């Protein structure tokens, strides 16, 4: 491939400067598998310390200015105070994630539970999350439901769809003008026979019925093996119904590993559709979020690495010669069109990104800068006592 010309470089770097990636508060806390949570040193003990860690990631990468919260994991007395603290640290509070999957009452489901009392409790939590959004200034309410059934006949599939629609409607109607409901889908787990929101089609249909403030979230880990995720991206973007990504990587199921680690080519293909759909700039309204857990690797460096992986895939997608691609496609030049894409994918964009960071006044190597910063040594000492934050708190 020929080196990108000055005009291309200018276009690519200005798009990369504007890119925004949101990090998840829970990725900074302890997490694990069903088998074991391995605690790490220096892990935050409360939402303030999670925000402080997120601010470090932003200071070093320059592209991660918001941090998503998960309620009740990030319950605080005063959300305005947490938002002010975030501001002091140079970041903002991002999406509010509801949690209706960790209470004994939800054994048979939350908003689709056959018991109307449990459904009421679940909906009240969703409404409480919108109250929190009002105080944090968050735009997005992200909903993932663990609801579903394990055995044929356990509950009525169709009635559960009705209950879901009712809950979503009440929540949607509570949203302010500038707020959105983002509906996430997941093929299976923890329900194994029938999940109530198993796929993008189901999420899309509910969002369509709700109205313009409802959009679909694509969590990259929530598909069957081999699913063409970039097709879903293209389809939802075209329909104006793509709201956000939960980025992560999977080798098997919902592994929540670092984005771009299992299949960087898939991430490139996804970002290519984003660029193709003119959806990269923050004004396009797509939230690019990470939804990851760092169970055995150090958390802050893993999150920095993840942000860099998204940037690298984006840079490659921006390098696709769209004129040459369109020409090859028009001419029916199958191999030529594929070569245009592969040329971009095979470009080493690390020097370009290092230069961009230098221009932004950042260290060209955020991983090395973090290692040198002494931040880990500091939090290890400062956070030696007390209860570390995790999935339950
Ligand atoms: C779910 C889903 C949600 C996330 C939780 C922790 O599988 O991906 O987005 O909030 O996990
Ligand atoms: Mn997710």
Q: Of 291, 389, 390, 393, which is best to mutate to test ligand 1, by the most ligand atoms within 8 angstroms of its C-beta?
A: 291
Task: Dig out the tokens for 190 from the structure.
Answer: 């923890």
| CA pair distance 126, 101, nearest whole angstrom | 12
Rounded distance from Cα 204 to ligand 2 centre (Å): 16
Q: Does residue 77 lie within any of the structural domains?
A: yes
Q: Is 144 in the pocket of ligand 1 (CB under 6 A)?
A: yes
- Give, in order, the Cα–Cα distances in Å from 58 to each of 76, 142, 303: 23, 22, 10
| CA pair distance 109, 121, nearest whole angstrom | 11
| CA pair distance 393, 391, nearest whole angstrom | 6
Q: Does residue 260 lie within any of the structural domains?
A: yes
Q: Does residue 383 lie within any of the structural domains?
A: no
Residue 280 sits in a domain of what CATH number?
3.20.20.150
Residues in contact with 67: Cβ distance below 8 Å, sequence separation at least 6, in sequence order: 22, 23, 24, 25, 50, 51, 54, 86, 91, 92, 93, 94
Q: Does residue 361 lie within any of the structural domains?
A: no
Q: Is 291 in the pocket of ligand 1 (CB under 6 A)?
A: yes
Q: Is 370 in the pocket of ligand 1 (CB under 6 A)?
A: no
Residue 1 is predicted with a pLDDT of 59
Q: Dihedral through CA 301, CA 248, CA 337, CA 231, nearest 10?
A: -160
Atom of ligand 1 nearest to the CA of 391: 6
The label of the residue with tokens 């489901």 reads: 109
| CA pair distance 15, 4, nearest whole angstrom | 15
Task: Dig out the tokens for 67 from the structure.
Answer: 């941090």
Rounded distance from Cα 196 to ligand 1 centre (Å): 15
Give the angle 31-140-302 at the CA atoms, nearest 5°: 30
Q: Are 206 and 160 in contact (CB under 8 A)?
A: no
Rounded distance from Cα 331 to ligand 2 centre (Å): 40
Q: Does residue 370 lie within any of the structural domains?
A: no
Domain count, the chain: 1
In this structure, which residue's CA is closest to atom 9 in ligand 1?
Answer: 144
The label of the residue with tokens 């030696």 reads: 384
Q: Does residue 11 lie within any of the structural domains?
A: no
| CA pair distance 51, 196, nearest whole angstrom | 33
- With CA atoms as reference, report the closest residue to 383 among 41, 37, 26: 41
Atom of ligand 1 nearest to the CA of 246: 9
Q: Does residue 85 lie within any of the structural domains?
A: yes
Q: Could you list the residue range(s) of the whole structural domain that residue 72 is in?
A: 19-316
Whether the model pTM is above 0.95: yes
- With CA atoms as reference, report the closest residue to 315 among 358, 359, 273, 345: 345
Rounded distance from Cα 291 to ligand 1 centre (Å): 7
Report which bound ligand comes closest to the CA of 246.
2
Residue 258 is predicted with a pLDDT of 98
Q: Does residue 103 lie within any of the structural domains?
A: yes
The β-bridge relationship of strands 180-184 and 140-143 is parallel
Task: Dig out the tokens for 350 from the structure.
Answer: 């690390």
- Give, in order, the Cα–Cα distances in Å from 134 to each of 15, 143, 263: 30, 17, 37
Task: Dig out the tokens for 113 from the structure.
Answer: 């539970």
Residue 4 is predicted with a pLDDT of 86
Task: Dig out the tokens for 53 from the structure.
Answer: 């860690």
Rounded distance from Cα 221 to ligand 1 centre (Å): 10
Residues in contact with 144: Cβ distance below 8 Å, sequence separation at least 6, in sequence order: 97, 98, 101, 184, 186, 217, 219
Rounded distance from Cα 186 to ligand 2 centre (Å): 8
Rounded distance from Cα 97 to ligand 1 centre (Å): 8
- With CA atoms as reference, report the closest residue to 25 among 95, 90, 81, 109: 95
Q: Of 72, 184, 248, 290, which is best to mutate to test ligand 1, by the most ligand atoms within 8 angstroms of its C-beta?
A: 184
Q: Of 69, 219, 389, which is best to mutate to test ligand 1, by the most ligand atoms within 8 angstroms of its C-beta?
A: 219
pLDDT tens, residue order, the chain (393 aa) = 567 899 999 999 999 999 999 999 999 999 999 999 999 999 999 999 999 999 999 999 999 999 999 999 999 999 999 999 999 999 999 999 999 999 999 999 999 999 999 999 999 999 999 999 999 999 999 999 999 999 999 999 999 999 999 999 999 999 999 999 999 999 999 999 999 999 999 999 999 999 999 999 999 999 999 999 999 999 999 999 999 999 999 999 999 999 999 999 999 999 999 999 999 999 999 999 999 999 999 999 999 999 999 999 999 999 999 999 999 999 999 999 999 999 999 999 999 999 999 999 999 999 999 999 999 999 999 999 999 999 764
- With CA atoms as reference, report the closest residue to 123 among 115, 39, 225, 254: 115
Task: Dig out the tokens for 65 from the structure.
Answer: 């200015």
Residue 306 is predicted with a pLDDT of 99
């Amino acid at each position: 491939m020929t080196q990108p010309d000055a005009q291309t470089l200018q276009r690519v770097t200005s798009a990369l400067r504007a890119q925004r990636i949101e990090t998840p508060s829970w990725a900074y806390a302890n997490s694990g598998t069903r088998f074991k949570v391995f605690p790490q040193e220096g892990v935050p003990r409360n939402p303030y310390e999670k925000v402080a860690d997120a601010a470090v990631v932003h200071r070093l990468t320059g592209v991660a200015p918001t941090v998503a919260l998960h309620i009740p994991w990030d319950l605080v007395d005063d959300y305005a105070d947490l938002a002010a603290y975030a501001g002091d640290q140079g970041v903002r509070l991002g999406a509010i994630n509801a949690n209706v999957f960790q209470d004994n009452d939800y054994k048979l489901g939350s908003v689709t539970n056959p018991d109307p009392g449990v459904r009421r409790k679940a909906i009240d939590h969703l409404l409480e999350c919108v109250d929190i959004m009002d105080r944090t200034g968050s735009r997005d309410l992200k909903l993932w439901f663990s609801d579903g059934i394990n055995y044929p006949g356990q509950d009525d599939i169709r009635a559960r769809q009705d209950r879901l629609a009712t809950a979503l409607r009440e929540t949607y109607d509570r949203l302010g003008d500038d707020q959105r409901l983002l509906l996430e889908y997941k093929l299976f787990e923890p329900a194994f026979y029938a999940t109530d929101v198993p796929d993008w089609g189901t999420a899309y249909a509910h969002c369509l019925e709700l109205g313009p403030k409802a959009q679909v979230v694509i969590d990259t880990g929530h598909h069957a093996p081999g699913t063409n995720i970039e097709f879903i991206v293209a389809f939802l973007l075209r329909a104006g119904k793509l709201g956000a990504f939960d980025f992560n990587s999977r080798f098997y199921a919902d592994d929540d590993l670092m984005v771009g680690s299992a299949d960087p080519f898939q991430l490139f293909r996804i970002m290519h559709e984003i660029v193709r759909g003119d959806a990269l700039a923050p004004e396009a309204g797509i939230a690019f979020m990470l939804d990851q857990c760092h169970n055995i690797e150090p958390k802050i460096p893993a999150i920095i690495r993840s942000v860099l992986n998204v940037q690298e895939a984006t840079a490659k997608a921006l390098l696709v010669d769209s004129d040459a691609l369109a020409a090859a496609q028009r001419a029916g030049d199958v191999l030529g069109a594929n070569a245009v894409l592969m040329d971009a994918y095979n470009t080493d964009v690390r020097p370009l990104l290092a230069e961009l960071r230098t221009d932004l006044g950042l260290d060209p190597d955020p991983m090395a800068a973090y290692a040198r910063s002494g931040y880990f040594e500091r939090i290890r000492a400062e956070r030696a006592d007390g209860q570390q934050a995790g999935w339950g708190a």
